[in-house]
Amino acid sequence: MKQKIREIAVFAVLGVILFVADIAFEALPNIHLVGVLIVAITAVYRVKALFPIYVYVFLNGLYGGFSTWWIPYIYIWAVLWGFTMLLPKEMPKGVRPVAYSLVCGLHGFLFGTLYAPFQAIFFGLDLNGTISWIIAGLPFDAIHGVSNILCGALICPIIMALKRAEKFAN
């Protein structure tokens, strides 16, 4: 029972950290640490990382309103979690930072494309409209992808900190 309560608390705090990291960078379009933190949390907690991710998604809805912009968040962050889950749990030390940064960057580059299916369905866009919507967002996705790759240098240190905290708590 004690472990479950601790996990609930840890995952709630991690979800809040994701949310605060998002809000802290709000003035910088498409530059934030959410992807970095999601990759790190997923590398450590694996399937259970979905808990803090959805705490973050829920807090975003509370803060910004459960409106049309929020609905894709239900699946977009799960895609990053899924990409990260596809990486081997154990990788050579030199490969980890590159692999994690590239996955994080790929998600940033694809963010608008991942958002597009909802836009198409909700706003009744045809294929041409959807493609136009994706193309219009490419500059923002480029900023998002590049910043995720650069910020990805923080992923391995965050993973080490999370693992140390877990060791200390157990």
Structural domain contains residue 128: yes
Given a contact cutoff of 8 angstroms between Cβ atoms, the answer to whether 107 and 79 are in contact is: yes
| Tokens (6 digits) for 146 | 């590049």
CA–CA gap between residue 114 and residue 72 (Å, rounded): 8
Structural domain contains residue 155: yes
Confidence of residue 155 (pLDDT cuts 50, 70, 90): very high
Confidence of residue 170 (pLDDT cuts 50, 70, 90): confident
pLDDT, position 169: 76
What residues have CB less than 8 Å from 129, skipping those under 6 apart?
120, 123
Structural domains counted in the chain: 1
CA-based torsion, 126, 127, 128, 129: positive or negative:
positive
CA–CA gap between residue 48 and residue 60 (Å, rounded): 20
Domain span at 97: 2-165
Structural domain contains residue 170: no
Confidence of residue 1 (pLDDT cuts 50, 70, 90): low
pLDDT, position 91: 92
Mean per-residue pLDDT of the chain: 95
Given a contact cutoff of 8 angstroms between Cβ atoms, the answer to whether 60 and 70 are in contact is: yes
Structural domain contains residue 98: yes
Structural domain contains residue 104: yes
- What's the pTM value of the predicted model, to 2 decimals? 0.94
pLDDT, position 48: 96
